[in-house]
Structures are given as structure tokens and as C-alpha cells.
Structure 1
Amino acid sequence: MLDNPSLRLGVREVLQVPHKEDITLLEDKQLYQFLLVEDIQGVRRILLNSTSYSIGRNPSNGIVLYSNLVSRQHATLQRVPMPKKSIQLFRIIDGNLQGERSKNGILINGKRKLSHLLAHGDEIVFSKDTKALYQVASNFTEASVPSDDATIAISENELAVFNDELAVINDEVMSRLASIPELNPNPIIEIDLEGDITYLNPAAMQQFPNIDTLGSQHPTLQGLLSRATSLQNGNQDFFVREVEINERVIEQFVHFIQCSDLIRIYVADITERKRSQEIIEYQASHDSLTGLPNRQYMNEFLNLALAQAERTAEQIAVIFFDLDRFKLINDSLGHSTGDMLLKAVCDRLVHYLPKDDLLARWGGDEFILVLRHVTSPEQALKVAQKVTKILEPPFICDGHELHISTSMGISLYPFDGKDVDTLMKNADVAMYRAKGNGRNNCQLYKSVMHENTFKRLSMENRLCKAIENDELLVYYQPQVNLELGKVVGVEALMRWQHHTLGLLPPSQFIPLAEETGLIVSIGYWLLRQVCAQSHAWQLAGLPPLRLGVNLSLRQFRQKDFIEKLSQILEETGFDPHFLDLELTESIVMEDIEESVTRLRRLRDMGISLSIDDFGTGYSSLSYLKSLPINVLKIDQSFVRDITENLYDQAIAISIITLAHKLKLNVIAEGIETKEQMELLRSFGCHEMQGYLFNRPVPPAELAEFLIAQPVLW
């Protein structure tokens, strides 16, 4: 390192200093100046014999520093002529002569400097792995790196005289250190303590032609003298300020020259740099698609608004909203159309936004509206309703006419939270309550919503681990044929053994599984369980039974569903002719052509297909005749009051008659009384299931029931 004694100056030759008072050591003898540089490539000594050097890692520099930690042009060495002296000195400047400073700066003898007149022995630090030592020698032959026993010829006493004299010279030339001001391409201005201009370099006169006339009233000098008093008092060495002049931004580096009571201003045009910074800052705080403020900007805005509202005792409303069923638009029409819709929505809303309020994109199709100066919850609700009205007219995107609605949630400061996170969370909770109420509406936050949301989140988290923790169970309910007088099939029904809530029926967790997508993994688990169980029953000697399994829309729409089902059948050894997949009307009727194709593939595998809860959906009878199905199931809602309700009887008769005409089997669900059973049998329905015959039971209990199967009606 540069602290190695072998690299320091020592005494080898004593200079004879004349006793004449008007001749200095510097004038007496020719001295040579060197820069001893140490970087990752080692140590090298450079003789300084040019008027200037650029220093940095760019190979085009006069002095190249081999380190990635230094700037491309890190510093500049500038020879400073000394009037009335026989020598010339070197000044090191951070950055280049155009006013662009280095990234890390430079340290001179451990202190950060922007500019420094070098004295013998000064250490310059460019980075943690790159340093330099400035040396003065009386003999040119000392240019090589000295060994331990060879040092440069100048005595310590003479070195002290040399450095003292440099210190005097430093004060004398501070007023003209500007790296040859006449040649500097940037303006340099000097004023006295009265504010009168004492010097302008050519660049200053060219860029500010009226500065001499306006004097201290010129924009570059306005307000400068009052700030410069801190320099005169010695409170600071310099300051930097920015000034705007005719849409240009200039940076001024201002320092005080004590020996001449002058204030010097170095000027650099940083307009392009400021514009680049503004572009970068804008991109960091705004959404690239819509141009709206993004989440970061919204957080900063709302924090400031809350701080002001605390002082003024005002209310603030946070409205969280998204576009209902936006995912359907993205999936069916493509993301480009979805992006066009998002931009069109934003363009329409910003025209109605009050100046003090903020509309921001939270992410995806979610938006935040921050309303300031709110006086009541009703005022926030009116704004939300106005947003709904604004979005009612259709949007034309890529030739498609799109109608949208929104679900909105509102939280109010200070009642529903006093910080950004709490207000956002509660507005989000209220929005999901709006979705739960049928979408296209707005809800104010209430504390009970948070409790319900927490319960739902807790159940969702627990459901994710239900399979892993063996908490899911399968129960089986027999299906009987009255003509044969025996059990001909079973329907598999899910149960969840919750750790705190006990045994839960499907109605309490299947909708959540559908919404979160967990139904897909749960559905495959169910198929594998019931196929393996049914195969085991057959191996145990029980009669083969038709196995009914409910199928979800998400699972049916999986591209690889049929392949995975085939794999499960093969792995479990279960005969597909005994498998009956039960689908709702809504599953079958969504994308009817694709549904028919898939259903036919399943039929070709030997699998039976049923329409569950027939009559409760929106199936078209014109399609029903072409669907490759085997069974229609009468929903229990038509069975519950069938003995008293003539309308239920008419519907049941219609379904049974339709099934017979189409050569389909028909099963009635929810049979609880003999009267219901006999009435449906009289209508021609001979297969039924319900509590009258047996409730859903675990596998072992069902096996016992089948072995001791009683005589059925």
C-alpha cells in the first residue's frame, strides 16, 4: 500500500538554499513532480510534464486507473501557472472541467475535496482499492520507484519550507484556480461582498449577455449574496444551488475566496440531467400502462394527506374498487383488449376527478380513489355512485362493445383507521363484501366485516392443508332401485373434519374451494380416493355399484382433465363403466360445443354422465337431446314439498317424462318420507336416494349396510 515506507520520500541529497531573502527554494532549483499511483495492477510512477491530465478508468484518460470502483473520468489534474515564480504547480479537481463530478469523490489526506492545490506528500484516495501519492523531486533520475535504501533527494527541512511556500501560494492563487478560467467552457462569475460583478469569463458573457447590465438582479445572482454570508462567516466552505432561467436549469457551485474577499460561482447547465431525473422519477411513481400514479405514489400522497387531516381535523375517504369479471375479458378476448379497457376506464374517470383528490392504479384491475375534505360517509358514497354511473356506458375496445361494473369498498379516516395500511386493508375488506353481495355495488367498512374476513382467511389457509393433514373424508349415500329392490349405486359426498369446527358438510367449504381454485386438487384427490375404495369393495366380494362423483366447473375445464382421470383409473384399477360423473347444468352449458366434445370423449371411455340438480339451472332443451348423457337427477328442491305442491309435482312429472322420451335414467334426490317415494314411483321414477333409505355414511359403515342389505321397497 501507499503507506509502505519504501514508497515515501526520504533524505538522500541536501539542497543548498541561498540566503537571499528574495529567492525562494522553489526558484533556486528545477524540481520534478510525480504521481505515484497504486491500483489493482500494482504501483507505478508518472512524471507530470503536461499541462493537464484526465484521470479515471476510461482507457482514453491521460492517467488510467485500473479499477471498476472509480468513475470513467474521476478527476482532473490541471497545471497552475505561478506569476513571478519559476515553477508551476498542479491542482487536482474532482470530476472534469465541465462541472461533472465523480461518483465517489476524492479524499485528500483523509478529507473530501472538490479541488485542491497539491503539496509534496499529499495522499489522494479515489476508491478503496485505488490511491495515489504526489511527490516532488530535485533529480529527474528519481523517476523510478525507490527501493528501501533509496529515497528522493530533498531534505525534511527543505520539504517543510516547500510546503509552507505552497500554502502561501495557495491563498494567492485561489482567485484564479479555475483551471484556466478563460478557456473553461462553463460560465465562471466573481462578485464582491457588495454584489458587484468583478469578473466574467468568456463563457459567462456568451451565455448571459445581459448579466453586466442587470448585475445582482440577474437570475443567476438573485438571492445569492444573502446566502453567501454563511461562507464569509466561516460556517461552511461552499454551497450548491439550482436556478431556473428561461426553462433551463443551472447548478451553481459557490465558494468564498478569503484572501481577496470575492465570491466565485461556477455554473453548469444541468437541464438535460434534470429532465432525465424527472423522467426516471415519473416512471418510478406512475403506472406505465395507464399513466396513473402507482402504489408507491399513492402511499406517499395518502401519508401526506393524513398528516394534514390530523392537523385540520378533516376526514379522508379511501375507495378501493375493481372491475367485475375483468379476468373473463382478459381470458376470452386477450390481454391486449384488457389493457385497452383499463386505459379507457382511466381516461374516462380522470376527467371527473377533483383537483385535490387522487386516482391511482393499485395493480391489475384494482384502483384506489383518495378523497380529501370529506364531511360524511354519505358524501363518499355519492362519489362512489358517481363513479359507477360514469362507467355504465359501454366501452369500445378493439371492435368489442364491453359493458362493465365495479365493486367498491370505502374506509374513512379517522374512524376506520389512522394509517395507510389499515385504511387500505379495511377498504379492501369492504370491497370483497360488495362482491359477496352480488357485485356492482358499494359497501362502507364495518368492523364485523373484518371479523368475517379473518374467519374466511383462516378457513382458506386451513383448507390449503386439509389434504396434507388427512382432514378430508368421503361419505357415501346409497341410491336404490325400487323395481329391483336393492342398492344399485352410491354418491360420494365430501366432509371436512375441521380441527375446531368439527365435521363440516360440503356447503360450508366447497364454494370457498371453488373460489380459490383449491377445488381442482381436492377434486383429483376425491376421484383417486373413491375409485380406489370402490375397487377395494369389489375385491372384497361386494356387488359392483355405480359410483357417482360430483365434478366442478374448474376441474372439468382443465385441459388435461381427461388424461389425469385416465391415469387415476389405471392406477386404481377401477372399471370406468361403473363411474358416473355428475355435472351441473351450468357446467355443461358453458361453451356448449367444447362441453359436448369432452363429454363424448368421456362416454367413449365407458363413463356414465349425469346432469345433477336438473331444472335449477339454465339448460336449453334444444341442446339436451344432443348431449351424450345417461341420467337426469331431480333436485331435492322439487321433492321437498312434492306431496302438497302441485307445481313441484308438475315439474317432476315433466322431468321424468322428458328423461323417458330421451331414453335417459332418472334419479330423485332428497327422499325423506314414504309418501314422497310412493308419489314419485307413481310418476314413473324408480331410482331414488335420501334419508328414507340411508344417510351418507363412512366407507366401513356403508360396507356393513351392503352386506346386511335389508329388503327394500
Structure 2
Amino acid sequence: MALSQSNNPNIFAILVKPFCDSRVWFVPVTLSLFAILVSTKSFSLFHTLVELFTIVIAITLSVIAWNTYSFSRNHFLMFLGSGYLWIAVLELMHTLSYPGLNLIEMGSINYSTQFWLLARYAEALLLLASPFFLTRSINAVYITSLFGVGSLVSYIAISNGMFPATFIEGIGFTFFKVSSEFIIISLLFVAIINLIRRRKELRKRVCVLIIFSIVFTILSEVFFVINNDMAPTEVIVANLFRLFSYWFIFIAIVRSTLTEPYQVMARGSSTFDAIPTPTLVVDKNCIILQVNKSACLEVNENHKKLTGQHCHNIFHPTYLTIDECPVCQHIKNEQPLDSYVMEFRQKNIWREFTLTPFQMIDDVEGIVHVAPDVTTRKQDQDKLIYQAKYDQLTGFPNRVLATDRLDMAIKHAERDNISAAIMFIDIDNFKNINDTLGHIFGDKVIIEISKRIAQNIRDSDTLARWGGDEFLIILPELNSINESEKVAEKILSRLTKPITLERKEFVLTVSIGIAGYPNDGNNVNSLLSHADAAMYDAKNSGKNTYRLFNKVLNDSAERHMILENHLRHAIDRNEFSLHYQPMYDLTTNKIVGCEALLRWDNGLLGPIAPDKFIHLAEKNGQIISIGEWVFETACKEISKWNKMGFTELYVAINICSTQTAESGFVNRLKTVVSENDISASNVILEITENVLLSDEFKTIDLLTELSNFGFRLSLDDFGTGYSSLSYLKKFPFDEIKIDRSFVRDIATDPSDAALCQAIISMAGSLNLRVVGEGVEDKDQLNFLTENKVDKVQGFYFSKALASNEFLEYIKESA
């Protein structure tokens, strides 16, 4: 806590610190005392000395800004320097025309005051406009020339009597002069406000010094306003305030362009060595210019030996040549590189390369080369990717990878005008194994069956575990669908041999359904559906056999048709309802929300599970109207709960890619929320990974708009698709849901436990909340609690409840 306070000084410390250095005060105080002493002897000489001092400061300020601009590129200070150069010219004309000197023909109080007033207008406008160039660039020559033209026009106007009179003998200063003073003071106050608003874009010390400079200028103007009869005391005070004003802005520019850059250079070496990751500075030829201590330790060399060497020979993978190395190519092209991971095979490590070119004067002179060791992170990512693509029990591809490979096989077959086939395989009577011998034994049987199947297919074929006791085989590049029958016969024959496990011997058979491209379908869904139908036909035919799909085999298709017809009228017939499964916050152990789950109870077909009709609705487009009904119904429930006092409850609603692709999707959600007078923060939109696989930039815009409106976004079923890791940082998610397949065995399977821990750790590093779903026992809950998962849901707490049951459940839990 003390450290936090020290890093955030109060406003008094910020204001005082720039003036604690005696060097800030020595020159102006000394000159002021000297000027006051001179004023007792000659007011004219006093005035001349003060004016010359301000002129010298203004010109010096301009020279510094010009000569440091080429490397500082500080457009704000360059703008001030250009302006003060010509203000110095106006000040000089004021001094030369001041009564008592009369060094130019038009010397008089009126002419002198006119030059002085123009200088004050120019200074006020300069200070007012300068903050705009904190974030805007300027053309230094153009802006200086523009100021010069303005000064020349002013001189011509005064010398030809075109400028309003500022002083009349016997009367004093004119109304124009006095009113101009008030205008100048107003402009200066606005300049202070503008600087305060833009203070974060300036270093604190510089900002404070410039503001104090303006304050002294205002005080100077005030004394000139109250001095209408040229009283020496007020004029002396006013000029001294102006002296301090010029000095503070001079110090501000010296600090920005000279003092602070040299301080940074003095600290640079130790700061560079303090970087904990191997860091180099190289030129565009890949030659090492500077190397930090971490990089020296990495290769066990001192910096003198490394400096001047080619970075590829020391810090890049040796199996690549310089021309093959992407990092070297980016360096040669002076291009930035962000988080490019490369493997060092000999060391069995991975490094993440980042290149950042930096500019010196006009050309790119160096590139910062950073290469931290990311081996642990890469291994964790590989584990997650493997989990997303491969079945953890058998090690064969899962349905996600299998679907992708099937799509590729179809495309290749279409391109080469050949055939392809898929085989759906289901173990006959496998439920008896699980029921009698247990799931652990059943898993061993699955492994043995998968090995036997794999022994009877080609290397180019794909065997995937589809789920449970189902397998899928993809047979690409076939001359005829008949070739698949031979494979099926070999598998059936191989499986007739007894299996011996744990001194138990038994025989298991399988039923196989075959569908071929292009005759039985020309896309993934049709082939899968038809192979599934053929497999069920094999089971109905006595099992331990295979069947090819044919036009007569349409039981599955007919059921889909019946479901589709009833689905079209489900909303009108009020057959849908929402059930709500409670979500618990593990920090407070309280119910904080729920997930809305759709239920369909058809009058003829009875209750129908969501997995039987959701996919059908997505396929035929009915998911749009169903999704709208779900969202509207959930929002109405939220509104009702809010009126009952449950204002903090939120509802998680599933959103699919078909819905997000619909035009006007976001506006419809906003409208429903507004119509029900609820907050968007009461709604969590659960996004599935297939939403992220469409147009990336369009999806980012859509999700960002939803997030900005107030909806919270959750990535559903995290880890079941291979896109999660690459997309997670790009989209504005608030939380991720660990899929129930990960949670199921976390208490018994070290691999699942490790992967869940990796997911939770990664989410924490990205500031994402984590939800564990499918919690069914105490061990699972304890694991998730110990690993700091934020929320959980599952049958261990409650099944999904109807609205009135959910409310009663909340009241009882409270």
C-alpha cells in the first residue's frame, strides 16, 4: 500500500516539485533584484533590460526547439519555438520604439504599446493553440514562415497608421488597449484550461511549468490593466512578472529537449540490463549493436564478444539458414514482428520473437530484438490443441478433427473426380459391458476395439472416435464405393476374435453403416446422416454386419422431416418453454444467475431432447425465430425478477452462428432489452466457437458492439474446438465456460486435471472469468474451488428448473 501511495503523489507535490530546484529560481530572482536596483536610477534602463532579457530568452527558446526537433520530433515544442521567435521580433520593435530610446523614427508611447499589445495577443494565441500539437504534426518551416508573415503584416499596419490607437497624450490608454488586455487575460485562462485537459499528454513537470508561466503572464497583464497612468510601481511589477513568465517556459523547453533526454541516456545501460528476457539491439544487417545481461547469460558469452556478431549465428535456430530465417528477413526489411514462435530443436525449447524498429533522426537505425523462452506456455498450448483435436482415451482424432478431414476428403474427391466413403461404427451391446463391469473396464474395451479397427485401414484413412462407443472411418481417394465393403469385412472378421482383458475373455461385434461420395451425399452433413442411418439399419438387421446407404433407407430422413414439420409450428402452439439451471459464485457461495435452456414438449411426439432438434433448426434456418423467442422470453423473465427485487440476477443465453450472421441481429437484441426495461448487464450471451470461424473482422465488430452496449460475452464449451486459443485474445469475451467433457474426470484423470488447470491459468492471465459446467459430484466441485474457478453449474446443485421452480429455489437458497 505504501508503494502505491508513493507512485501517486498528491496534487500539492506535483505543483511544488518543479520549483524545488534552486536553479529554477536563481536566475530570475537575481535578475529581478538587479532590475529593481536599476529602476531606482533609471526607469527607461530598467524597462530596456527586462525587454532584452525576455527577447534573449525567446530567441534562445526558439533556437533550442529548432536544433532538437530533428531527433525529438516534439511538434508541441517546435510550435512554441516558432511562435516565440516572432514574438521576440515584436518585443524588439516595442523596445526600440519605447520613449527615451527612440531608436526608430516612429518612436512614441502609442507605437511602442501597439507592438507590445500585438506581442501579447500573439503569445496568448500561441499558448492557447499549442496543446493541439501534442498529438498533431507540423511543418516547421511552414509554421515559422506563417508567423513571420503575420509579424510583417503587423509592422506594416502599425507603420502606416492602420492599427487602432492605444495611447493618446493627455488622456492615457484607450478603450481599445484596455479591452484588449481583458481579451488577452481571457485567452490565457482558456489556455490554462486547455493545458489541464490535455495534461496526460505532457510530462507533469513540463505541464506545471508552462501553467505557472501563463499564470505569471496573467498577473503581468492584470498590473498593466490597473496601470492607466503609467505609474512606475505597477509597470515595474508587471514587467517582473513577465520576466518570470518567460523564464518558466524557457525552463520547460530545456527540460523537455535537453535535461530529460540526457537523464534517460545516463540511465539507459542499467535499464537495458534490467530487462529479464534476452534482448538485443541490431541493425538492418542483423549485426548486434547492444546486448543485455540476460542475453549474455543465455549464450554464456560477454557483451564484448557478442557485439558486432550476426544475431542469427547465436540467437536463432541453427537448422535454418539466414535466408530461410523469417526473423532475419524481417530485420533486413526493417519490419516489425509480433510474437513469432520458433522451435530450437537441439535444445528442445521454444522462443517467441518480437522485433520493434526504432527511429533515429530520419532513418531506421536499429531494431529491438526480444526473444523470451515460451517453452512452458507452448507445451500448455499444444496440450490444449491436442485436447481439442484428439480423443483423450484412444488418442485418435475426435469428431471436430474428423469433420474437418471429411470436408477435405470431399473437396479432394470433387477436384480429382474420384469417390470417397465414410463408415459409422457402433459397438453392439456395449452398454452391457459398462453396466456389468464398470466404466473403467469399458474404457479399456474401447481402446482395444479402436486398436483392432486401426490395424485394418490404410495410412491415408482416418479413424476417429465419434463419441461413446461410436467410431468414424474416413476413406478418401476410392475408385469405387465397393472398396469400402472390403474394409468393413476385414474389420468385422478381425473383431470376431476374442478379447482378453483382466483375465476375462469375451467377443464383441460391431454394426457398420457406409455412405459414399458423391452418390449418397455431397457434403459433410448428408454423408454423416446417411452413414448413421445405414448403421442403424445394420443393427436392425441383427448386428455384426454392415449396410450401405440406399434410397430406401430413409428412416432417419423421415424422422427429420416429421420433426421439421412440427418444429415450424412449435412457437405458434406454445410448445416451447425455458428452464433455468442455477449458477453459483464460488467466492460468495450464492446463486448469481442461471443458464436458459430450451425445452420442447410436442403434443404428438412428446418431450424432445434439444440435441434432436437444435441442429435441425440451425440447418433449415428456423433457429432464427427460435432464438428470438428464447431471447424475448428470457428478457421478460428478467424484467419480472427485477420487479420482485432480484435485480442482480443474470441469465446466460446461447447464441449460434446462424443468428449472428442474420442482418439486424444486434439491433434486435438492443430493442428487446429496451422494451423490457432491463439492463444489458443482466444478460450473458454464450457464444459457440463456430461463430468465431466466420469473417474475423466482422465478428470482432459485432461482438465489440454487443460488449459496448453492456452485454457480457461468454465463450461456450471452451476447448472442444481447435480455434479457441488463436481467437481468445482477439474477441472481447468476459468469461469462458470449461466444457463438461473436461470437468467430468478432473478428480480421477490427471490429464484432464492438468488441462483444466492450464485453461484456468490462461484465462486468469487474460483477465477472463471461468465457469465450470457439468459439475455432478463433490470432488469435481472441490477441484474447481481449489483452482479458483469463478462460477459453477451442474446437477450437483440443481437440474434446470421451470421459472416458478427456479424462483422458489432461489428463495430457499437465500
Q: TM-score range by the shorter chain?
A: 0.3 to 0.5
Larger % of helix: which?
Answer: 2
When normalised by structure 2's length, the TM-score is 0.37
Larger % of strand: which?
Answer: 1
When normalised by structure 1's length, the TM-score is 0.42
